[in-house]
Amino acid sequence: MFTDDVQRHFTPVPGYCNTATLGLPPRAATTRLRACLDDWEAGRVDSVGFDVDVDRARAAFAQLVGVGADRVAMPGAASISVGTVAASLAPGARVLCAREDFTSVLYPFLAAGTLDVVHVPLEELVDHVTSEVDLVAVSAVQSADGRVLDLDALADAATTHGVRTCVDLTQAAGWLPVDASRFDVTVCSAYKWLCSPRGVGFMTVGADADWLVPHLAGWYASDAPWESCYGPPLRLADDARRFTVSPAWFDVAATAESLDALLDLGVARIHDHDVGLAAALCERLGLPAAGSAIVSLSTTSDPADDLAEAGLVTASRNGRTRVSFHLANTMDDVETAARVLAPHVDATAS
């Protein structure tokens, strides 16, 4: 059974249904992180040695999203990558966004103050992709309610009209099969579905990335960072590494372990596991399944006290209860959540 394979890496945490807020790590990641802390305390940290973990993490993420490792940078949080995209656009550029998207996808463009930012409902986004748009910036999966964007339709429309794309994979990578090569830029924070510590993020860039300016370039943006720490000239890497910022060493080391565990399990199998649990909850509550690992529930009464009493960890987003399933979950969590939530759920609301 797939559950047996999962439990080779992950320890079940009964009642934790909140990966959309914070993913839980595989055992190898916490073991590595504790070893880093021990080494730090004992003065044994080998800073240069973490370059191996950076390379491992870049290669693993590349494999997860279907690009070459040379297309992957590690700039930190998703908003850092989005900010780089926003700062690289010419004044007056038109940016198309989903009105209800996560603010880290929206704020960098709004904060620029020089861009024409257009917001439309998510379900209308692809229809608004025209030659008058310079860039589409949108999440692959909505944080608030788990709606999954038709990524193929977006990529096709963008290609047809010559529009650049920036897709946030933070709520998608790790459970949703994704082909990042179809987009000019993708961004991803790793602390959710990639089961990694906060402080690590990824960015993929297309082959035609000359329009992107590495505004945050630092010493680690070089091909050989330890050999180019001081003085001019500018020595940026030829590939996506020029968008990498100085890595959070311990976090990256743990992330490399987490991504290896995900690759071992396989995104397709993880997708079936996560979405299957979400669909099972919807079935028990009399609701249609949405093909997402995230279930967003409208309630007629506040379930917070009952959830806490049952030991269930969920989230509240936009006045709805958000339940999310990943690799620390089993069918036992589905049964418990269904029992506790059934008296509160508004089955007439979608």
Single-letter residue type at 38: D
pLDDT at position 1: 59
Single-letter residue type at 117: V
pTM of the predicted model as reported, rounded to 2 decimal places: 0.96
pLDDT at position 282: 97
Calculate the average pLDDT of the chain: 96
More confident site: 301 or 348: 301
CA pair distance 138, 156, nearest whole angstrom: 15
pLDDT of 349 strictly over 80 = no
| Tens digits of residue pLDDT in 146-185 | 999 999 999 999 999 999 999 999 999 999 999 999 999 9
| Tens digits of residue pLDDT in 74-123 | 998 999 999 999 999 999 999 999 999 999 999 999 999 999 999 999 99
What phi, psi does 175 have (nearest 5°)?
-135, -25
The residues that bridge with 49 in the sheet, in sequence order, are: none
pLDDT at position 4: 85
pLDDT band at 347 (very low <50, low <70, confident <90, very high): confident
- For tokens 């390379």, the residue is 55
